[in-house]
Structure 1
């Protein structure tokens, strides 16, 4: 029941250069007979993508965009159901013998009848009663099936409609042409097992001729009966009335079923809501079909789906259409996906089995008399207590006891049922368990196979696209097989790799990497160059234990000093052990708030040498282990000999007359006037415990993936400067507690909160780098985590050796100022307001108030911030960052 919707979301995430989407399923037999024809309207216009459902075998298919269809069937007697949104369903009885039967169908516009009830002033639109019943039964539909199997065929067709001229040569090199249609097809076998397990095996794949290199995307499962689908609110969600307005458009007859047509309108247009029409089967209160659209970060997604009553027991999707279109940075693309589902085999959940015509849902808000009678006939209090002893039996008896049940009673029963089911699960924290496999012969099917298996005939444009792609693939394959020089041209080491970097496969489990050399500039070293290489190998294949060795070389041209370090890392899914040592520079703040590339820009162009550095000769040992899936422990020990550094250069690209020159390399601090230090030793130990007690997971191919926002993150840290061991000159203790979480506040917005507080238990001997520092920023760029960092704070002014507290609150609005305009929201733009607060002995309640616009040109964020101390205005500034949707979430993974 779960796979028709996330295909749409798969489509929303496919605005990448990879439109070889998804997988599909259908039998692999070859038939010599069946039914074919064309579906048109009364004017003779083809009804592209009309749905055809074969009742006898639970199979479905779809006409192509020209209205042409073809179904391969065994000889026999069949009932075919022809459907198209907005048109009357037509049923044909066909006998298939030893050849294809030609059946052309003309569909009439749907006759929608309004009920006798007239919506007058003060009366509620009938759509709300219909939707309340459908929403009340959504949980039932989610749990109705114990399992099902099906075959799915998916065809994706995409084309690049426009691109900037600067990208023309690169695209041509990759064989990508403007307005050329690239298509992909796949056939998959799908199996669902309640409550959350999905298995898919891809039988065959054909994709734009590059059959040796193409990997299909996973067929993603979902359902509009779920409250949310990847953040998009379903019209059948319990909180749907807060997000949508509904309008009754009438009722139409589809065979023996009464279907209500409901218009869905977002109360606030933008991302994560849908708009369009959803058709509800009366009595069943299930989805009959839908025609909706939504947007994700300015990319438009159009979805059509048609359902059918499988074995007259459950309405399941039999065809889907998706159209995705968007424009960004001069690129404009359009993708179309078509999926047909066939060969349904369903197994009902025996605990919830009830003939749908036996259960009539009563809306107590409107049907007050009926609800009162049901209330009077409820079991006694003593009988209610018996439900705790055998909840499933009580629920089944109640469902089978009569035709009427109130919405509230159904909701309560389903919640209790799901609660009991959750207790029985071995892993209740697992939200979904998906398995995706590709058959070894999936890429080897020829055109004859596809001609026999394809349920949707190709259009002329698609045939031409395949012919061109196949010819290009043949040329490429011959070149690879016949020209060994060309085939090996980009294999192995090349001299220019020393300048641009590359990765080389050494063996099956080992690789060697040359990192891109990173030049930079600071006033301590002048121009500097960092050069790294790394070697990685899997030591134990069973648990993927991997060893990585990374030596790094650094040369400071102004200091004329060479330095470097060597790092060993041993890790798997349970632990990570790191040993690192050498001679290297480091920022006074160990969290290193200034990126070297940003410091290079501010130093050379703005004459602000913000990065303050010291040198250490050190050995660091760090160990991290997952004690359980909820608790992680990190321990570290660091042996250091630390040296103060001074500026060695005044070089600059722009000499700003308004700036006095570079500042000293000694950080400025209000608590410690002189932050310089002499050569000394430091032995420092640390311990951190991170807990996420309510963490949820998704499983993909047997591997668990955390759902980061499913639980708050709690942290406890202890840092100890150990005196008189290995000559250590430091003696201090610091403890810190913290929490970070993100959550929604109703329909109004999304909130991120980060709180940290701590204190030094004692600080007998310590240097400035041992103080508690905070993530400040004085550059034009916001590069740190948006939640947990400051925008205008001096990097070291309020650093402390005493108690401290830092709090950050980030509120994401669905509608605020510029997002009051629908066109702005539809372009993927959003607004945020944030507050950052710092309390230390010298900070005087330092506070930042900020406003940001997210999603500018899809990827960027512009912030305006003002700072205050003890409520008095201090400063203001603007910052440029990356869209918070792409920012790294806080977690101690």
Structure 2
């Protein structure tokens, strides 16, 4: 690190001998600063960007230069200077753009001249979208997020940023990154992070999002999760169906006439922009733009987002983006936040020669030591000066980070964090930290600790976990955890105890294995289609004991390993001594007449309970997600998914005779699952599976093929279950079965035409589930409903068809984050 610092300082010192510093401020005629104004050296793409205080600087070798300052909506200003050995102050004062109106005759009811300009831009859009088949550039990225106000308490808990500052105005996040951005169209891109820093977090990596928000695309994705349908460009092929345009006038730069067009959505609650776009006359390319998204644009998560872009010519016929700035703002749960994310593009190579296999599965690569660069390095390469509040934030948080590593401070943080709180104790589980030792303890919540079923009666199930992180790298996979649990039924007086040890590791790809054993109570369908809380509610309040249980002494080993290229292998071996259980409790709150508890076995497929037996079962499988992309950190690789289907093949073997095992069978299953983004059309998701028994010489009911049914109000897991199917009605050991789940999320399509639904932002969802096991075991269901209710809920109306007849109807409610209630 000392050597790196010395080299950096030497380079900075050497450069300063040969280059002068040109610096100043960019304001308007009233002295108001022009935030992120662009400063360029005429005839080149060399330049910089002013900060939020309007200040900028440039390093230039001796010579004569023309310096240009420009800002969207203002007339640009040029100044010629001669650079010698001394620094030069150079301020700019820009005036609001004066527009020349063309002499056009617009008859009553005639068309605005803007429409002809936009039509020409639409015709040229495909050409400019693909004009550069490949390019490479460097991008400086600075992101900051600040608070204007925040609540003192949230969900009854005090809001504490652990910085000793109680003021309402504060910097939440500040980071800088320099990245190399490489593109080979149509689908290849790669980001290489050369240097990065996060205020107060020296071991972490900043935001690395150099992607250009290209308005030459028909459908534009801005960030993630702002709108699942994307947004329609003002020059999209179908833009005239969505926007109104107004010609504001034109101005001239370097002999080029540039038209200013006001863009207005024709309808509210469509994924549309509003604002201004400047189009060059004759060649009809984007010169610059100022566009805005709001809640009326069907945005999620944030309230507004302003986008500014400026393009500059790199040759006579090729223009490239110079700056891109995003301004988000959000008010949520009492938090009032705003920010800015500025990208400054430089060093464009529009004819790059990429090495073979340069573009691979690594989408984002962060180089070793990229977050360890000294302050002198950043001062030498930063293209825009830090603001006063940014300098203060770096100093304050870097000092706090050092203080936070003090053992006494860590103890005080533990004492504050580890105070018991009602909500986590009841609903989510309470965490207790020992920061110095990198240990975390978790106690299961009360809602998981007490339950009722007809086998055990009221029961207490107490457990938690202990996790030890084995190194100090954030996000490290090297850790182990221990999860003990104990369970006692008041009606059958059975005491059960079990434990699991899990170790996660992998220098790059994720791997894990676990060992568990003891004696425990399981559902006959080991996928647990009905949760403990749901079963308690249905059994105690409505006298419906849908869950069927057995008890087992068990030992189990499982493993999972990523091997790269989207491939994961997994498997395991388990031994169970399975003990049948009978009902011992027949009470409920209502004791409803005419309703009795059913026996503790699936009466749809069994006349009596199974007999005690032993089972030794091996399991192996492989999954492949073609086209998987990765983020490659210096110490690990993170899977970020793919646009292609996930393929999974699984195999189970019941091993007879070993350890007195009574089972003898072989079964398989092949799954295909995918989520298809149809942009404005919504999102289509599906999962289908084929499987069955290759051999079934000796199969116990626990090892049957079970389907995840549902007979309660809370929804079954979407794409993995059926919403009305009785839990065990179609369980089987057939040689072949087929299962399919399909759903389409309209994501605002259609409902944005209905005033009530567009105001409350509910989305339509529809789909179907089906299975086939044989001619006597056919079932299908269709559903339609609304999602995004209060941002977390989904309500479906479901019709079930049994052998071509409508056999049932139901309503299902799903709540994000709460699983099966």
Relative to the length of structure 2, the TM-score reads 0.78
Deviation of 1:758 (Å): 2.7
1:198 maps to 2:191: yes
Deviates more, 1:120-129 or 1:215-224: 120-129
Deviates more, 1:131-140 or 1:765-774: 131-140
Q: 1:588 to 1:277 in 2, by over 3 A?
A: farther
Q: 1:874 to 1:277 in 2, by over 3 A?
A: farther
Write the mapping of 1:110-125 to structure 2, written as runs, cut at 5 A: 110-111=98-99, 113-114=101-102, 125=116
1:321 maps to 2:355: no
Distance 1:185 1:27 in 2: 24
Deviation of 1:478 (Å): 7.6
Stretches of structure 1 that go unaligned for 5 or more consecutive residues are: 1-25, 352-420, 889-893
Distance 1:304 1:887 in 2: 41
Deviation of 1:55 (Å): 0.9
Deviation of 1:561 (Å): 0.9
Distance 2:404 2:519 in 1: 50
Q: Show the counterpart of 2:208.
A: 219
Deviation of 1:740 (Å): 1.7
Distance 2:436 2:404 in 1: 25
Distance 1:224 1:319 in 2: 11
Q: Show the counterpart of 2:673.
A: 740
Distance 1:826 1:112 in 2: 40
Q: Show the counterpart of 2:8.
A: none
Distance 2:201 2:695 in 1: 64
The answer to whether the 8 A contact 2:201-2:401 is kept is no
Distance 1:183 1:767 in 2: 57
The answer to whether the 8 A contact 1:155-1:339 is kept is no
Q: 1:32 to 1:60 in 2, by over 3 A?
A: closer
Q: Show the counterpart of 1:384.
A: none
Deviation of 1:72 (Å): 5.8
Out of 112, 117, 120, the position equivalent to 1:129 is 120
Q: 1:122 to 1:79 in 2, by over 3 A?
A: closer
Out of 81, 85, 100, the position equivalent to 2:68 is 81
Distance 2:472 2:794 in 1: 43
Aligned-residue CA RMSD (Å): 4.8
Q: Show the counterpart of 2:799.
A: 866
Distance 1:762 1:327 in 2: 60
1:766 maps to 2:699: yes
Distance 1:176 1:301 in 2: 28
Q: Show the counterpart of 2:77.
A: 90
Q: 3-state DSSP class of the match of 1:660?
A: coil
Q: 3-state DSSP class of the match of 1:322?
A: strand
> Which string of whole-angstrom CA distances, capped at 9 and with x for unpartnered residues, describes residues 748-799 of structure 1?
2321111123333443432221211111223332362x22322222221221
Q: Show the counterpart of 1:105.
A: 93
Deviation of 1:580 (Å): 2.9
Q: Show the counterpart of 1:522.
A: 452
Distance 1:238 1:297 in 2: 22
Deviation of 1:163 (Å): 7.7
Q: Show the counterpart of 2:3.
A: none
The answer to whether the 8 A contact 2:198-2:206 is kept is no
Distance 2:169 2:553 in 1: 59
Distance 2:201 2:477 in 1: 30
The answer to whether the 8 A contact 2:741-2:768 is kept is yes
Distance 1:472 1:746 in 2: 41
Q: 1:272 to 1:567 in 2, by over 3 A?
A: farther
The answer to whether the 8 A contact 1:309-1:316 is kept is yes
Q: Show the counterpart of 1:304.
A: 308
Out of 22, 47, 52, the position equivalent to 2:38 is 52
1:170 maps to 2:106: no
Deviates more, 1:726-735 or 1:222-231: 222-231
Aligned residue pair count: 762
Q: Show the counterpart of 2:565.
A: 629
Deviation of 1:614 (Å): 0.7
Distance 2:561 2:55 in 1: 57
Distance 2:477 2:173 in 1: 37
Which protein has greater RCO, CA pairs closer than 8 Å, 6+ apart? 1
Q: Show the counterpart of 1:489.
A: 412
Deviation of 1:245 (Å): 5.0
The answer to whether the 8 A contact 1:805-1:838 is kept is yes
> Which string of whole-angstrom CA distances, capped at 9 and with x for unpartnered residues, describes residues 151-208 of structure 1?
45555433236687755733487767675243655544333345433333446655xx
Distance 2:397 2:510 in 1: 46
Write the mapping of 1:153-302 to structure 2, written as runs, cut at 5 A: 153-160=142-149, 169-171=158-160, 179-182=168-171, 185-195=174-184, 196-202=189-195, 206=199, 211=200, 217-225=206-214, 227=217, 229=221, 232=230, 235=233, 245=243, 247=245, 249=247, 251-261=250-260, 274-281=273-280, 286-294=285-293, 296-299=299-302, 300-302=304-306
Deviation of 1:234 (Å): 6.8
Q: 3-state DSSP class of the match of 2:412?
A: coil
Distance 1:731 1:333 in 2: 62
Q: 1:38 to 1:439 in 2, by over 3 A?
A: same
The answer to whether the 8 A contact 1:51-1:82 is kept is yes
> Which string of whole-angstrom CA distances, capped at 9 and with x for unpartnered residues, describes residues 385-438 of structure 1?
xxxxxxxxxxxxxxxxxxxxxxxxxxxxxxxxxxxx89x435544555455865
Write the mapping of 1:347-746 to structure 2, written as runs, cut at 5 A: 347-349=349-351, 424-425=356-357, 428-433=360-365, 435=367, 438-440=370-372, 455=385, 457-458=387-388, 488-490=411-413, 500-504=430-434, 511=439, 513-516=441-444, 518-523=448-453, 524-525=455-456, 526-534=458-466, 536=468, 546=478, 548=480, 550-558=482-490, 559-567=493-501, 569=503, 572=506, 573=509, 576-625=512-561, 629-650=565-586, 654-655=589-590, 657=592, 660=595, 662-669=597-604, 672-674=605-607, 676-692=609-625, 694-701=626-633, 703-745=636-678
Deviation of 1:739 (Å): 1.8
Deviates more, 1:560-569 or 1:484-493: 484-493
Q: 3-state DSSP class of the match of 2:629?
A: strand
Distance 2:471 2:87 in 1: 60
Deviation of 1:679 (Å): 0.9
1:337 maps to 2:340: yes
Distance 1:768 1:789 in 2: 19
The answer to whether the 8 A contact 2:25-2:33 is kept is no
Distance 2:399 2:451 in 1: 50
> Which string of whole-angstrom CA distances, capped at 9 and with x for unpartnered residues, describes residues 601-634 of structure 1?
4445555443321111122333445566254443
Write the mapping of 1:132-151 to structure 2, written as runs, cut at 5 A: 132-141=123-132, 143=134, 145=135, 147-149=136-138, 151=140
Q: 3-state DSSP class of the match of 2:120?
A: helix
Q: 3-state DSSP class of the match of 2:131?
A: helix
Q: 1:114 to 1:215 in 2, by over 3 A?
A: farther
Distance 2:72 2:624 in 1: 50
Q: Show the counterpart of 1:71.
A: 57
The answer to whether the 8 A contact 1:157-1:184 is kept is yes
Deviation of 1:808 (Å): 0.9
Distance 2:316 2:747 in 1: 41
Q: Show the counterpart of 2:682.
A: 749
> Which string of whole-angstrom CA distances, capped at 9 and with x for unpartnered residues, describes residues 47-76 of structure 1?
6426131316822223637xx434365686
Distance 1:857 1:45 in 2: 45
